[in-house]
Chains A and B, each alone.
Chain A
């Protein structure tokens, strides 16, 4: 299995924020969701992969090639969707397409036309007249129209309605019919990842908390709920995060079977959603 993205020991220092020791691998043929709260470093990682900003340390390889040395070659194979789409405000969608298409050797006009009609995008309309959702759709259509091997998408679903978000997932799933392709998808709408994502990488405060196959989380991770008295000092340590109220406690475990052994039938254990994982690890991780 070849890797689409291979990051090791990545570091980027800003005033007041440091992305540190980031390492993860996305194999070809798979979709990875990059999750984390706002300001965690998701966009910074994507910018570093694209070599849009300078890194302080570490290695980034895309399709086995160094991201700095082979920047141009790599970029030709990447479809990029930015959180805030920026094109010339007065250009029509047609103008934008005409400006962008020549950069790509593998531009697929037929694909673009079919996406435009599928997404109901008005080619004659000026960019500034589009809604945010329309702008996102335009970006997505452009990213999907040059047979990119890697899609880097920074919050592609923010501001999009559930119907289109589902359509995007279907597009990505269709793309994955080709085992050479890969998608890195940052989002805080975690429900988009529950279905199609193969891997989940969670970043918090500039550090990778975990990078795992989603099925491991779906199978082993759970929320334990019970009366406060049950939450003894020794059992606290086994949780990734704990929330207490006047009426009881809720805690995140990465090992449902051992939580079941520990608490027996005194508690309720439910499977954790990606959202649960994010909330518990952000708020409660340090106090557990």
Chain B
């Protein structure tokens, strides 16, 4: 698990933690069933308040990303594959939408955009 806290970010710290863990679960960097550090351990490592780490975990649990087994620990929840796929698609869709609106603003047409996309896709492989 990787978490980087930015003190200059306008986002509250619990939200930064929540977002980063979520991204790692969606990308598969954190696998199903994998154990997460306890809220107290995470607070110690990041040198932040226990209340902050607890809030981040509470929200992840509410959103179905993690499970807390009382007395045992916190684990990455078994993800619904359909849902996970949808979440992944949504992330890519958002990025593409950004690119599309940028392209429109600069007067770049769909055909050009398609070419660019194909080129980039191949380049990466």
Measured CB to CB, the residues of A under 8 A from B are 29-31, 169-170, 173-174, 176-177, 179, 195-198, 213-215, 218-219, 271
16 CB < 8 A contacts A-B: A29-B50, A30-B50, A173-B44, A174-B44, A176-B40, A176-B43, A176-B44, A177-B41, A179-B40, A195-B48, A196-B48, A198-B50, A213-B49, A218-B12, A218-B13, A219-B12
Task: Decide: A214 and B41 in contact? CB cutoff 8 A.
Answer: no
Is B108's beta carbon under 8 Å from chain A?
A: no
Within 8 A of A (CB), among B22-60: 40-41, 43-44, 47-52, 55
Query: How many CB-defined contacts (below 8 Å) exist between A and B?
Result: 45
Is B14's beta carbon under 8 Å from chain A?
A: yes
Q: From residue B50, how far is it (CB to closest CB) to chain A in Å?
A: 6
Interface string of B1-32 (1 = CB under 8 A from A): 00000000010111000000000000000000
A218 to B12, CA, bound (A): 7
Q: From residue A55, how far is it (CB to closest CB) to chain B in Å?
A: 30
Q: From residue A4, how far is it (CB to closest CB) to chain B in Å?
A: 14
A41 to B41, CA, bound (A): 34
Given A177-B41, A219-B12, A271-B10, A198:B47 Cβ within 8 A: no
Q: From residue B115, how far is it (CB to closest CB) to chain A in Å?
A: 40
Q: From residue A221, how far is it (CB to closest CB) to chain B in Å?
A: 12
Residues from chain B with a CB closer than 8 A to the CB of A219 are 12
A219 to B47, CA, bound (A): 18
Measured CB to CB, the residues of B under 8 A from A are 10, 12-14, 40-41, 43-44, 47-52, 55
Q: From residue A276, how far is it (CB to closest CB) to chain B in Å?
A: 14
Chain B residue at minimal CB-CB distance from A170: B47
Residues from chain B with a CB closer than 8 A to the CB of A30 are 50-51
A176 to B13, CA, bound (A): 19
Q: From residue B25, how far is it (CB to closest CB) to chain A in Å?
A: 23
A236 to B48, CA, bound (A): 34
A93 to B59, CA, bound (A): 49
Chain A residue at minimal CB-CB distance from B47: A195
A238 to B41, CA, bound (A): 39
Top 4 nearest A-B pairs by Cβ distance?
Answer: A173-B44, A198-B49, A198-B51, A195-B47
Q: From residue A271, how far is it (CB to closest CB) to chain B in Å?
A: 7
Residues from chain A with a CB closer than 8 A to the CB of B48 are 195-196
Task: Decide: A215 and B12 in contact? CB cutoff 8 A.
Answer: yes
A248 to B55, CA, bound (A): 37
Q: From residue B47, how far is it (CB to closest CB) to chain A in Å?
A: 5
Q: Of the candidates B12, B44, B49, which one forms a contact with A197 in the assembled complex, judged by CB atoms under 8 Å apart?
A: B49
Residues from chain B with a CB closer than 8 A to the CB of A218 are 12-13
A161 to B14, CA, bound (A): 29
Given A177-B41, A219-B12, A214:B47 Cβ within 8 A: no
A31 to B44, CA, bound (A): 12
Residues from chain A with a CB closer than 8 A to the CB of B51 are 30, 198, 213-215
A29 to B47, CA, bound (A): 15
Task: Decide: A177 and B44 in contact? CB cutoff 8 A.
Answer: yes
Task: Decide: B40 and A214 in contact? CB cutoff 8 A.
Answer: no
A218 to B16, CA, bound (A): 14
Task: Decide: A173 and B43 in contact? CB cutoff 8 A.
Answer: yes
Q: From residue A201, how far is it (CB to closest CB) to chain B in Å?
A: 14
Residues from chain B with a CB closer than 8 A to the CB of A173 are 43-44, 47
A176 to B50, CA, bound (A): 9
Task: Decide: B41 and A196 in contact? CB cutoff 8 A.
Answer: no
Given contacts A176-B44, A195-B47, A215-B55, 6 further A-B contacts (CB under 8 A): A30-B51, A173-B47, A196-B43, A196-B48, A215-B14, A215-B52
Q: From residue B36, how far is it (CB to closest CB) to chain A in Å?
A: 16
Q: From residue B108, how far is it (CB to closest CB) to chain A in Å?
A: 31
A173 to B40, CA, bound (A): 8
Chain B residue at minimal CB-CB distance from A195: B47
